[in-house]
Amino acid sequence: MPSYPIMTCFLLGGTLSSGQMAQAAEGAPQTLRDLGARANVVVGTAVDVDALAKDPAYAEIVASQFASLTPENAMKWAPIEHTKGQRDLHAATFVAQFARDHKQTLRGHALVWDLEIPSWVDTSAPAVLSREQFRHLTETVQAFQGQVATWDVVNEALDANGNRADNVLARALGPTYIEDAFRAARKADPKAILAYNDHGVLWPGPKADGLTRLVGGLKGGGVPIDAVGLQSHLHLVPDWRIDWAGVRAHLQHLASLGVAVHLTEVDVRTADLAGGSLGRQLAQAQAFYAMSRICRDLPACTHLTFWGFTDRYSWVDRTLGPDDPLLWDDQLQPKQGLFAVQDGLSGKPWSGCSTNWAANGDLEGGVGAFVTPGGRLVRSREAAAKGEYGLRSTDRTETWQGPRLDVSQLLAEGVDWRIQADARTTSGQILRMTLRVEDARGETYESLLAVSGNGAWQHLDTTFRPDFSGPVRRIDWYIEGPEAGHNIDIDNVSIGIVCPTF
């Protein structure tokens, strides 16, 4: 069981909220394997064989956190039979042994995939490709009979419109090659769960509709398909928002066709979100939470497999460029996404939705990270709206002076933020909530909210969807407005997330 050292919780930019710190202090949370077992979900990860063999810290998390392992590449045709007539099962066997040693199940990926045909196969000769493909399928399934619980029999055979792709396999093996592959796999291992796996089919759309047609047709034709794998490679862009209710309905409809639903290859790319690292993690965590919760809630969703679990080893960096798409960071420390998956599998609301990410926003723990570009800040009972203490900005000489927080680590695109504060100033003076952003556009000011002061406490409450121009160098949140000589009192500052219905 990996230790969960209490992370250094620095204010605002911290990667753990105070609640998460408290949880970590209570001892390591339950493993994803245990949480999944309670939810009847087999939680798995793709594994990098080299890392599994050479990185003990990586192997420790694989061993303790997951119930199922998927060799990321070692069971594909080209890696197995890179050289004609020489089948190399060493890497796959190593993973199978590791899984056996840790009482984990094995997912075989992927028997039939047009992108992993060995280069020596003459794909221009249909009879050759057909003979070699079905020989490979049968030999591989038989080699791991009783070890592999689930096979991705056919991978990515639909085109973007949801039709059967006109690929080299379809042209060489004929229009029923998908059916033929499932029948051959069933013959080779009558007990394995046989799945069709594809990407871009998690939410409603033409390809998802095509998947539904394919699965319905296979089931209707008596083809031995037991499950459908929905690859969940998410790429977050600033205005990303997924209709999770539509995802739920789509998964439910697939289940109604008589197959198990597997969320496979889950990872969430955030490199195209500008702003703070914590905010990007929170955008990512929302997606991880939604997929985990939806799978937990749907009885037919029996498997949730991450496409790796740590940013230290991800196909995304190798293939698409630097990114941090997974649950543990490069140093194998937990990220917000891991806590979100724990909440999702537990059937709890995501804690990120109820957390005040502005540490010490109620001023009860001291002045904290609040500063002022001029005048003085005085924490006092007199300036409290609630609780013991509030914060007074006094001796102001400019309208733009006032209590300020550096939110550079926090605010990021991909999240709808809700920012609140109690504020008070002289009647007739302006109270304004402002963001100052330094990014590729230079220095810009965003007025989030302005009210006319009335000498009493006023609750400022607004939402904000960032639209930065990365890279973002700095973001400051502050209250300004009154003329020189007028104080600003603030209390109960809160920066939260506007959560969708998951």
**Tokens 């997924």 sit on residue:** 242
Q: Which residue, 77 or 370, has its beta carbon nearer to ligand G3I?
A: 77
**Tokens 């504020």 sit on residue:** 423
Instruction: Tell me the closest approach of the beta carbon of residue 94 to ligand G3I, in angstroms.
Output: 14
Tokens describing residue 83: 């050289």
Query: What's the rounded Cα separation, in Å, for the pair 329 and 382?
Result: 44
- Residues facing 16 on adjacent strands: none
Helix residue ranges, H only, 8-125: 18-25, 32-38, 49-54, 56-65, 77-80, 90-101
Q: Which residue, 147 or 264, has its beta carbon nearer to ligand G3I?
A: 264
Please identify, among the stretches 72-80, 242-250, 414-422, 448-456, the one whose residues bind ligand G3I according to the rule CB under 6 A.
72-80
Please identify, among the stretches 70-78, 295-303, 425-433, 457-465, the one whose residues bind ligand G3I according to the rule CB under 6 A.
70-78
Please identify, among the stretches 24-32, 71-79, 393-401, 460-468, the one whose residues bind ligand G3I according to the rule CB under 6 A.
71-79
Instruction: Tell me the closest approach of the beta carbon of residue 353 to ligand G3I, in angstroms.
Output: 30
| Bond before 78 cis per omega within 30 degrees | no
Binders in 191-210 for ligand G3I, by CB under 6 A: 199
> Residue from 315, 353, 395, 451 that binds ligand G3I (CB under 6 A)?
315
**Tokens 């969430």 sit on residue:** 268
> Residue from 15, 45, 68, 73 that binds ligand G3I (CB under 6 A)?
73
- What one-character-per-residue DSSP string does 247-273 give? HHHHHHHHHHTT-EEEEEEEEEE-TT-
**Does residue 318 bind ligand G3I (CB under 6 A)?**
yes
Instruction: Tell me the closest approach of the beta carbon of residue 154 to ligand G3I, in angstroms.
Output: 12
Q: Which residue, 72 or 439, has its beta carbon nearer to ligand G3I?
A: 72
Out of 156, 179, 413, 480, the active site residue is 156
| Binding track over 76-95 against ligand G3I, x by CB under 6 A | x-------------------
Q: Which residue, 105 or 264, has its beta carbon nearer to ligand G3I?
A: 264
373 contact partners, CB below 8 Å, separation of at least 6: 400, 401, 404
Q: Which residue, 231 or 408, has its beta carbon nearer to ligand G3I?
A: 231
| Binding track over 114-133 against ligand G3I, x by CB under 6 A | --x-----------------
Q: Which residue, 229 or 482, has its beta carbon nearer to ligand G3I?
A: 229
> How many Cα atoms are found within 13 Å in the side-chain-facing hemisphere of 433?
21
Q: Which residue, 313 or 477, has its beta carbon nearer to ligand G3I?
A: 313
Q: How many residues does the chain have?
A: 502
Q: How many residues bind ligand G3I (CB under 6 A)?
A: 10
Out of 81, 179, 265, 480, the active site residue is 265
**Tokens 């592999």 sit on residue:** 148
| Binding track over 136-175 against ligand G3I, x by CB under 6 A | -------------------x--------------------
- Please indicate whether residue 388 is annotated as part of the active site: no
Q: Is the dihedral of CA 412, 318, 337, 333 positive or negative?
A: negative
Q: Which residue, 265 or 311, has its beta carbon nearer to ligand G3I?
A: 265
**Does residue 317 bind ligand G3I (CB under 6 A)?**
no
Q: Which residue, 210 or 403, has its beta carbon nearer to ligand G3I?
A: 210
| Pick from 160, 169, 49, 146: nearest CA to 100 | 146
- Residues facing 449 on adjacent strands: 433
**Does residue 265 bind ligand G3I (CB under 6 A)?**
yes
Tokens describing residue 270: 């955030």
Query: What's the rounded Cα separation, in Å, for the pair 461 and 482?
Result: 19
> Residue from 15, 105, 231, 420 that binds ligand G3I (CB under 6 A)?
231
Instruction: Tell me the closest approach of the beta carbon of residue 50 to ligand G3I, in angstroms.
Output: 8
The H or E element spanning position 424 is: strand 417-425
Residue 434 Cα to chain centre, angstroms? 30
Query: What's the rounded Cα separation, in Å, for the pair 315 and 59?
Result: 18
313 phi and psi angles, rounded to 5 deg:
-135, 100
- Please indicate whether residue 156 is annotated as part of the active site: yes
CA dist 94 → 8, 34, 36, 57, 357 (Å): 37, 24, 25, 17, 43
**Does residue 310 bind ligand G3I (CB under 6 A)?**
no
Task: Give the orientation angle of helix 126-143 with respect to helix 177-188, to 10 degrees.
Answer: 30
**Does residue 72 bind ligand G3I (CB under 6 A)?**
yes
Q: Are the beta carbons of 331 and 322 closer than 8 angstroms?
A: no
> How many Cα atoms are found within 13 Å in the side-chain-facing hemisphere of 146?
1
Binders in 399-458 for ligand G3I, by CB under 6 A: none
Cβ neighbour number for residue 456 with a 10 Å cutoff: 9
Please identify, among the stretches 69-77, 206-214, 274-282, 397-405, the one whose residues bind ligand G3I according to the rule CB under 6 A.
69-77
**Can you give the binding site for ligand G3I, defined by CB under 6 A?**
72-73, 76, 116, 155, 199, 231, 265, 315, 318
Active-site residue set: 156, 265
